[in-house]
Amino acid sequence: MTILASRKVVFCGMIVMVALGTISILMFEPERPGIWAVGMVVIVGLAAFLASRVMERRSAEIEVRQRETLDDDTTYSLFYADSGLAAPFVAELWHEIADTLGVPPGKLRPTDRFGYEIGNSFWITTEALDTLAAIAIRRAKEYHGAINWELIKTVDDYVRQLAALKGAKGTPRH
């Protein structure tokens, strides 16, 4: 199910819930129907938000898992051959991301966004993303640098920023 289709399902569900809520308010005639109506809208809105997040997450997970599996050499030749980055270092970072986030390395792509296609959850962050951040911080200290978190949105951003901290050819800076 695509994200657009899942949102249509959620929207239709919201309409049904509002209609049922309105009918129940009219049938039971509470003392303060306005408060009941506001409560109904809040509940429907929260339910729709949660349903939308669940469907969006499942859709992203399915999309990633259905991709063609690429081995390390193919990944490097397709996405990093002209980068000047050392292939073993790219593969090391690639597997670090995949292992930490529980995604098969062959399914990752440079454009995968953290918190969207990979490492997504209902909340702002996940334990896996926090673990990956801790690993990146440890690497940055080892390379005598600092991570610019505002620039890391995708797998490619992670690889290139850590490679830049280590040195363009994948060797430590001194």
pLDDT tens for each residue of 30-74: 677 777 777 777 877 787 777 766 666 677 677 878 889 999 999
Report residue 133's pLDDT band, with 50, 70 and 90 as the boundaries. very high
CATH of range 72-166; options 3.40.50, 1.20.120, 1.10.1200, 1.10.3470: 1.10.1200
- Residue 137 is predicted with a pLDDT of 95
Query: Is the overall model pTM greater than 0.75, yes or no?
Result: no
Can you give the C-alpha Rg of the chain in angstroms? 23
Whether residue 162 contacts residue 133, with contact meaning beta carbons closer than 8 Å, is answered with: no
SS3 133: helix
Between 91 and 7, the higher pLDDT residue: 91
- Residue 1 is predicted with a pLDDT of 53
**pLDDT (mean) for 101-107:** 93
Domain borders along the chain are 3-65, 72-166
Q: How deeply is 80 buried, as exposed, middle or buried, from its count of CB atoms within 10 A (0-12, 13-18, 19+)?
A: buried
